[in-house]
Structure 1
Amino acid sequence: MSRRREPVPFAFIAEADRFRSNVAPPPPERPSFREVAGRWLLGLTIVAALVGSLVVGTPALSPDHSVKTQQSQASQGR
């Protein structure tokens, strides 16, 4: 492994920590009405999709009583 022979100037790193600019960055642009409306619409779409999947998936998670009644009726008929 080769070592660097030239000295590394660390003074610029310490100097950069102390440096403060007197030029303020420009303020961020305010989002337009269309951008805000688009974000709300996207959020509403995501929430509606989650609620819809919960509504559609809930019956699949509930115990199915109709299978037991059909089996018990078939066994009583024999």
Structure 2
Amino acid sequence: MEDNREMLLKRVQICDFILVETNEYLDTHPNDQAALDYFKKYNEMRRTAAKEFTEKYGPLNMWDVEGGNRWNWVDDPWPWEKQ
């Protein structure tokens, strides 16, 4: 059984894939309401999963770094690395 970290990371990655593909479709079909709704659904799912991952395991990318007194992006294993 996968741990929660792996599950959350996979959820983010799946949503990322879906969002990129849907974005490409919407670039050529901007008035497709069903596709836009699909994009919004997975965008929200990605936000939720990324927020949960970041709160529990640290930032997924440099934009998620909170800051502080030092650059803490390098403190934890990279999101794609196993612990």
Provide TM-score, normalisation by structure 1.
Answer: 0.32
Determine which structure has more spread, i.e. the larger CA radius of gyration: 1
Provide TM-score, normalisation by structure 2.
Answer: 0.30
